């Protein structure tokens, strides 16, 4: 049943009881998702480059994988220069080169400290077993004002929260089944709000607070698309499931599942289960990845993240357009606001 807030007014006790149960389920899902996704971070196949060549390469890769308990996933690079490029484009978290007098580790400080700490811990043990020291060099360090790597996550979460709040508000104020005329007014209004959110949100972290490096305008573009995708998806969910049901589903997708899958203080390599499977596939996590890349790995590009966000936008617009076509054809009872 597609419930609207207006239909809930004066509704029988059984309906209100159902709403109470639904909210309780959402609350408990929130707790379970955050604790399950973020409480026990352990690396799983964190990619690392092993700089070596010749017949010993396969043996060294196997040694690294075994020493890490498969926390790391090693791959061979012929030179340190090639491995360095892989780090700067986000393909690997670090590069390990064995030596006769000392082993060398070049590690990325971003996107979060735990990646570097895991590499140092595992490869220090490997070097110690060989009786040599490990010399570590850090590139792409985190901003001194963001030592835990949380700024990108909080920025993306703020955009997602703004998106579903403005989408929910429009559904409550103007109805969840707009006509073509109503949709033509709603989309530009959401785009204007999204642009303001993206520009100001990025400026706060880059220019005003100086928390993140990188282009504020590129980040603003990511923010604009993220807020637009979330707000339109919220409207589409309200169109299908009613204002109450659609708002609850939006919170479930973008907050209950989306926030933990974005990783918080961790990267996707430290997530498991549904959180890792959905990492990068929900606008919240896609935006977090995009901002981290723009801030610390600009050579990596953000094409795949923008594609994910764009697919959510296109899907939501398709649902809203179908709803407008049905209503314009006279197939539904009209609601206020057109």
**Least confident segment among 47-61, 269-283, 286-300:** 47-61
* Mean predicted confidence (pLDDT) in 221-233: 97
Given pLDDT bands bounded at 50, 70 and 90, which one contains residue 6? low
Q: How many CA atoms lie within 13 A of 52 on its CB side?
A: 25
* Mean predicted confidence (pLDDT) in 30-43: 80
161-218: pLDDT as tens digits: 999 999 988 887 776 677 788 888 889 999 999 999 999 999 999 999 999 999 999 9
Q: Which of 62, 288, 17, 89 is nearest to 76 (CA)?
A: 62
List Cα–Cα distances, 237 to 116, 182, 312, 320, 328, in angstroms: 40, 17, 12, 9, 19
* Mean predicted confidence (pLDDT) in 19-30: 79
More confident residue, 277 or 53: 277
Residues in CB range of 301: below 8 A, 6 or more apart: 293
pLDDT at 335: 47
More confident residue, 112 or 287: 287
> How far is Cα 136 from Cα 124, in angstroms, rounded to an integer?
10
Supply the pTM of this predicted model: 0.88
Given pLDDT bands bounded at 50, 70 and 90, which one contains residue 43? confident
Residues in CB range of 127: below 8 A, 6 or more apart: 102, 103, 133, 134
* Mean predicted confidence (pLDDT) in 284-313: 96
47-93: pLDDT as tens digits: 999 998 777 778 788 888 888 888 999 999 999 999 999 999 999 99
> How far is Cα 74 from Cα 91, in angstroms, rounded to an integer?
12
> How far is Cα 25 from Cα 213, in angstroms, rounded to an integer?
40
> How far is Cα 211 from Cα 196, in angstroms, rounded to an integer?
20
More confident residue, 63 or 321: 321
Q: Average pLDDT over the chain, rounded to whole?
A: 87
> How far is Cα 180 from Cα 327, in angstroms, rounded to an integer?
9
Given pLDDT bands bounded at 50, 70 and 90, which one contains residue 271? confident
Do 311 and 281 touch, CB atoms closer than 8 A? no
List Cα–Cα distances, 260 to 75, 231, 277, in angstroms: 28, 20, 11
pLDDT at 328: 74
Tokens of 61: 């890769």
pLDDT at 12: 65
Residues in CB range of 143: below 8 A, 6 or more apart: 151, 210, 211, 212, 213, 295
Do 191 and 313 touch, CB atoms closer than 8 A? no
Please report, rounded to a whole number, the percentage of residues in the chain having pLDDT higher than 90. 55
pLDDT at 178: 77
């Amino acid at each position: 049943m597609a419930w609207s807030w207006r239909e809930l007014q004066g509704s029988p006790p059984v309906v209100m009881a159902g709403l109470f149960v639904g909210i309780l389920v959402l609350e408990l899902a929130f707790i379970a998702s955050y604790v399950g996704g973020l409480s026990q971070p352990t690396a799983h196949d964190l990619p690392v480059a092993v700089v070596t060549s010749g017949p010993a390469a396969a043996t060294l890769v196997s040694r690294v994988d075994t020493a890490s308990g498969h926390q790391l996933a090693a791959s061979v690079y012929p030179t340190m220069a090639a491995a360095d490029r892989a780090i700067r484009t986000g393909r690997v978290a670090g590069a390990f080169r064995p030596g006769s007098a000392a082993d060398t580790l070049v590690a990325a400080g971003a996107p979060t400290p735990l990646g570097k700490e895991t590499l140092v811990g595992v490869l220090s043990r490997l070097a110690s077993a060989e009786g040599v020291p490990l010399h570590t060099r850090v590139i792409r360090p985190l901003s001194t004002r963001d030592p835990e790597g949380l700024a990108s996550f909080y920025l993306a979460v703020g955009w997602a929260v703004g998106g579903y709040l403005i989408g929910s508000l429009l559904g409550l104020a103007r109805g969840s089944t707009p006509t073509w005329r109503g949709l033509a007014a709603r989309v530009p209004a959401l785009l204007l709000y999204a642009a303001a959110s993206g520009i100001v949100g990025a400026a706060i972290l880059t220019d005003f607070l100086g928390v993140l490096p990188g282009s504020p305008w590129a980040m603003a573009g990511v923010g604009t698309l993220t807020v637009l995708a979330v707000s339109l998806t919220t409207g589409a969910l309200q169109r299908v499931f009613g204002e109450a049901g659609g708002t609850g589903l939006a919170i479930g997708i973008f907050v209950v599942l989306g926030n933990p899958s974005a990783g918080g203080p961790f990267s996707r390599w430290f997530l498991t289960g549904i959180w890792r499977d959905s990492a990068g596939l929900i606008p919240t996590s896609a935006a977090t990845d995009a901002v981290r890349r723009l801030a610390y790995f600009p050579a990596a590009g953000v094409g795949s993240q923008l594609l994910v966000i764009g697919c959510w936008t296109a899907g939501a617009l398709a649902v809203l357009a179908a709803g407008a076509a049905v209503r314009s054809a006279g197939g539904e009872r009209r609601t206020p606001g057109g």
